[in-house]
Amino acid sequence: MATLSKRISYLQLDAEKADNFSVLQRPLKTQTEGLPTIFYLSTPPALFGSICDSLGAHQLVQENTRIVLENPLGRDLLSSAAINEAVAKVFNERQVYRIDHYLGKETVQNLLALRFANALFEPVWSNAHINNVQITVAETVGVEGRWSYYDESGALRDMVQNHLLQLLCLVAMGVPVNLDAESVRAEKIKVLKSLKIIHPEEVEETVIRGQYCQSVINAETVPGYCEEDNSKPDSQTETFIAARADIHNWRWRGVPFYLRTGKRLPKRYSEIVIQFKDVPHSIFPLSSNLLPNKLIIRLQPDESIQLLKMNKVPGLGTGMKVLPVTLNLTLPDAVTATRVPDAYERLLYDVIRGDSTLFVHREEVEAAWKWCDAIFEGWQQRGLPPHEYGAGSWGPQTAFELIARYGHTWHESK
């Protein structure tokens, strides 16, 4: 820390006053001569445009300057496009790094290696062999004193529009020409543009939104969302989302992608579950409880990859019985003995190197907002309030009915 602190300097300015940015000119010129300058904007997105204008007006943007923007950008497609347009007046797309920390996780990147470096998986990675895909990001905490901020976004804007749809892209994308930024992001854009738009008449049965209410967790009474500090009793903001997303292309036509995220759920974890189809015909006794294969990719709190497969029950007996066992595909301890970098650490390192592969392209952002905007429009047109669910539960009952309607159940992680 002593070494690092010597390399840090601090300046205070008002981001909404253009003339304040003159204080950056001298230190940036003297301390970063010939090196790339990186501006990391962790401000409200509404300030991104004016900050970029001020940086440009004071000649602080050069060919090797880069800018990092925190997601989510805006509240909808219109506001997001306005922000991107304002940034684009000063920075070209090659210089813009829209950061989503989920893309920096080791297991998320390993998903690309799992799919494209192994002949075992890619041939079965389609609607011919996969029954459904489930992506869950569950949190046990509430809004943690950030009620006013959260109430302006909600689960759809805060989690689905960026994190969950980015994970969906990595699962569903086609094989890129290579691993450079342009090729990888082009395949993700194709996925987002193939998402079936959910029309107002479909939204009630396709997207479930909920809001946690007062309940008891571990013998302690937990307030509901509208009872938190500084809350408003009539808020309609959702703290839970369960949705079915459909990708209309040859690879995924007919395979439902179930997205689920929420606050005040029983467990904290993020995972992707790829459920394969049943065997065409079982030759084993009914008592064997034959289950479909599942590839379970855990992103947090621990990172792991496991394959659920059927195995013979050992021992003597009449007839062959099978039971589900888990095959661990996680990197062995010998490989992970070296420190695994934090997601933000990896992403910031990539910004320094000028590698934008793990960052979100403008077209991705706008395609994701287009899909989410249709859901908001459906809620508004049909006047659909969020369903209540008790804090500490897995969301409203309608979330279970959503997936059961198509003959599926949520994967319950241990």
Q: Tokens at residue 379, please?
A: 């809620």
What pairing do the DSSP bridges indicate for beta strands 256-262 and 130-138?
parallel
302 closest CA partner among 331, 278, 279: 331
**Amino acid at position 323, single letter:** L
Residue 308's DSSP bridge partners are 294, 326
Alpha carbons 389 and 347: distance in angstroms, whole number:
36
Pick the CATH number of 102-342+363-404 from 3.40.50.1820, 3.90.226.10, 1.10.3720.10, 3.30.360.10: 3.30.360.10
Which among 58, 101, 129, 163 is annotated as catalytic? 163
Token pair, residue 407, equals 């003959």
CA angle 255, 258, 263 (to 5 degrees): 175
pLDDT for position 201? 95
Question: Which element (helix H / strand E) includes 324?
Answer: strand 322-328
Lookup: tokens for 91: 């920075």
Residues 6+ apart with CB under 8 A from 352: 36, 38
Helix (H, G, I), strand (E, B) or coil at 242: strand
- Per-residue pLDDT of the chain (414 residues), as tens digits, is 999 999 888 899 999 999 999 999 888 876 666 788 999 998 988 899 999 999 999 999 988 999 999 888 899 999 999 999 999 999 999 999 999 999 999 888 889 999 999 999 999 999 999 999 999 999 999 998 899 989 999 999 999 999 999 999 999 999 999 999 999 999 999 999 999 999 999 999 999 999 999 999 888 999 999 999 999 999 999 999 999 999 999 999 999 999 999 999 999 999 999 999 988 888 877 766 788 999 999 998 888 899 999 888 888 776 778 888 899 988 766 566 677 788 999 999 999 999 999 999 999 999 999 999 999 999 999 999 999 999 999 999 999 999 999 999 999 877
Q: Is 163 designated active site?
A: yes
Count other Cβ atoms within 10 Å, centred on residue 138.
Answer: 21
The pair of three-digit structure tokens given for residue 261, joined into one six-digit string: 């995220």
Which CATH superfamily includes the segment(s) 2-99? NAD(P)-binding Rossmann-like Domain (3.40.50.720)
Which residues in 47-86 belong to E strands, given as ranges? 66-70
The residue assigned the tokens 């967790």 is 217
The reply to whether 2-99 and 102-342+363-404 are identical in fold is no
| The pLDDT of residue 318 | 66
| DSSP-derived pairing of the beta strands 38-41 and 66-70 | parallel
pLDDT value, residue 249: 96
Q: Write the CB contacts of 252 (distance below 8 Å, at least 6 apart in sequence).
A: 126, 127, 172, 194, 246
Residue 258 is predicted with a pLDDT of 98
So where are the chain's domains? 2-99, 102-342+363-404
Tokens, residue 83? 């922000």
